[in-house]
Structure 1
């Protein structure tokens, strides 16, 4: 069998100089070589190595959670990450925001003819590293190759599977007056990192994407604040749009304190230069936790002690007044509305 396998893969893929062609998506030897020498090498685990078209998963004991996502970011590589690490972190976070422990990921790749195999390998290796950091397994997937000019390099779609943490129930409908609004760090890093790379702009020290898996942080939140009401990651539309969604779903008001919202200086300067509001700029490694007042201090302490939560801050309060609206006390002492995002400030950022 070993000798037969060696003959089957007699000519290895040229990862360093090769490019993707249509035979890599045709289901024959080239496809098998791509799977074996690029994908399987990065994602190796006992479930994937069974070699089925799907995955036989161990029994899940908690309430199952499923999330799916499509990743179409441009550029594919950016300061602080790439489409591969983003795909895994984003999927992990979507499951975690359900108050769940992410366990498995399925990933599908749509690759454009002519795409450098070295870039694909780099992206796939990045996915593997991020999956290991998050403690999840990539267990199944699919690869398609489209003609040159029809794929913009690479698209990745993912499905995440997990189980709800014991005793946890979160929902956008559960915010209650008196709850505190906590965010896990500075706003706008990811969106501005993408914009600066895309447009060739330089803002001082260089802005890095915050893309990261947040499931370990969520587990710390749930231990410190077992009655946490809402968990969300403020991705497209940023903090402002996500809080408007929650206010609408829960029929409550939310009052923010502008002075308490962390924004890195280089991000603030970049937003000012481009005429953007950091409250509407996307994040990929930050979360919002809305918790009862009596659990807020313990939750904040736990978040600040956890990876990816060092800059956590209480930034607002849920109110019974003006249900469905988000407002903010400004640095000048006034109050202004924080409305929904009305247009796409930064397209193709995730």
Structure 2
């Protein structure tokens, strides 16, 4: 057994031991790492929320839940937005909240219909900024073809709310027969991403200031339901779609590999990354694979449908930079591997720590 095979076997054994243990949170208090989308986030969800609310729809741990109302199949999702700063190149917390919820429904295979919006506003927050956020949400909703039909507003004391937080929930209708789930993933499937990764996360980092880096970057925030629908029409055998938000593409692929009990092997050179994102990541010591997107989806489709799926993405304005970045294999189960430019292979594990908090 080679050194690399021995190391992979050790990781596999560790994962299997972890699966047998009852999930628990090691920390006594919540840290920023619990909101970064990596290992700490997964441990918190498994040990606290999944244990408390366990049911079949929740156990899928997808971007949204597929539910039934009479004979109608629906998708339902909710999300909170605490991005800092509230306004950034290419968007703001308002359109981010609308697009993020639309996208969670889109990757369930649904046509988004209605949203709710709840605001937690800090005492002293400028009314003009709140109006700007609401106007942005309204414009994003109209562009996505959805309506904000209910909501709520709360005001907290000065210094207790960091400006404004937004929570949105959404409901959509599942009109296609496809059952999208990582459990459907099989060896031989192809892995695609719909465009350059990491734009949003790096844009937010640079917008916060304090970094002597100049880059002509804007957030990729956009509604993906049209793109997702085009892909599903072209590749009806699609296994699973995910939007690569917190934790980036690396986290999504790890979640898919773990659920499918399969290996995912990607080619680093095939992953589309803008030079500005790659450069900023190199300076900050952050792999773009872990950096959040807000207008990109990851798709796993049968290998024989990869060409038509890629063509469908390329034909849509939001998928012009799409690429096939890897494949699913039987081994190593539960692991994501990346073939490097130097001809080697590295393990792409779940994110550890909190290098990118408050990015959505």
Identify the TM-score tier after normalising by the shorter chain.
0.7 to 0.9
State which of 175, 199, 204 in structure 2 corresponds to 1:165: 175
State which of 253, 257, 269 in structure 1 corresponds to 2:263: 253
**Where does residue 336 of structure 1 map in the other structure?**
346
- What is the rounded CA distance, in whole Å, between the counterparts of 1:219 and 1:171 in structure 2? 16
**Contact in 1 for aligned 2:247/2:292 (Cα 8 Å):** yes
Q: Any unmatched runs of 5+ in structure 2?
A: 1-68
| CA spacing shift, 1:274–1:60, aligned 2, 3 Å | farther
Give the 3-state SS of the residue equivalent to 1:308 in structure 2.
helix
Superposition pairs of residues 154-193 of structure 1, within 5 angstroms: 154-193=164-203
- What is the rounded CA distance, in whole Å, between the counterparts of 1:201 and 1:135 in structure 2? 38
Give the 3-state SS of the residue equivalent to 1:263 in structure 2.
coil
- What is the rounded CA distance, in whole Å, between the counterparts of 1:133 and 1:266 in structure 2? 28
- What is the rounded CA distance, in whole Å, between the counterparts of 1:297 and 1:61 in structure 2? 35
**Where does residue 219 of structure 2 map in the other structure?**
209
**Where does residue 87 of structure 2 map in the other structure?**
77
**Where does residue 159 of structure 2 map in the other structure?**
149
Shift of 1:307: 2.4
Superposition pairs of residues 275-314 of structure 1, within 5 angstroms: 275-314=285-324
**Where does residue 91 of structure 1 map in the other structure?**
101
Q: What is the TM-score normalised by the length of structure 1? A: 0.81
- Identify which range, 78-87 or 204-213, moves more after superposition: 204-213
- Identify which range, 166-175 or 104-113, moves more after superposition: 166-175
Over aligned residue pairs, what C-alpha RMSD do you find? 1.3
State yes or no: 1:346 paired with 2:356: yes
**Contact in 2 for aligned 1:74/1:348 (Cα 8 Å):** yes
Superposition pairs of residues 96-245 of structure 1, within 5 angstroms: 96-201=106-211, 203-245=213-255
Work out the number of aligned pairs and report it.
292
**Where does residue 11 of structure 2 map in the other structure?**
none
State yes or no: 1:263 paired with 2:312: no
Give the 3-state SS of the residue equivalent to 1:149 in structure 2.
coil
- What is the rounded CA distance, in whole Å, between the counterparts of 1:340 and 1:102 in structure 2? 30
**Contact in 1 for aligned 2:73/2:173 (Cα 8 Å):** yes
**Where does residue 9 of structure 1 map in the other structure?**
none
**Where does residue 13 of structure 1 map in the other structure?**
none
**Contact in 2 for aligned 1:244/1:324 (Cα 8 Å):** yes
What is the CA deviation profile of residues 117-156 of structure 1, one whole-angstrom value per residue up to 9, with x for unaligned ones?
A: 1111111111111111111111110111111111110010
Shift of 1:204: 4.2
Shift of 1:175: 1.1
Shift of 1:60: 9.2
Give the 3-state SS of the residue equivalent to 1:63 in structure 2.
strand
What is the CA deviation profile of residues 86-108 of structure 1, one whole-angstrom value per residue up to 9, with x for unaligned ones?
A: 00000001111111111100000
Q: Any unmatched runs of 5+ in structure 1?
A: 1-58
**Contact in 2 for aligned 1:64/1:162 (Cα 8 Å):** yes
**Contact in 1 for aligned 2:262/2:331 (Cα 8 Å):** yes
Give the 3-state SS of the residue equivalent to 2:208 in structure 1.
helix
**Where does residue 52 of structure 1 map in the other structure?**
none
**Contact in 2 for aligned 1:281/1:345 (Cα 8 Å):** no
Give the 3-state SS of the residue equivalent to 1:199 in structure 2.
coil
State yes or no: 1:66 paired with 2:76: yes
| CA spacing shift, 1:70–1:182, aligned 2, 3 Å | same
**Contact in 1 for aligned 2:109/2:176 (Cα 8 Å):** no
**Contact in 2 for aligned 1:61/1:163 (Cα 8 Å):** no
Shift of 1:280: 0.6
| CA spacing shift, 1:297–1:60, aligned 2, 3 Å | farther
Q: What is the TM-score normalised by the length of structure 2? A: 0.79
**Contact in 2 for aligned 1:108/1:142 (Cα 8 Å):** yes
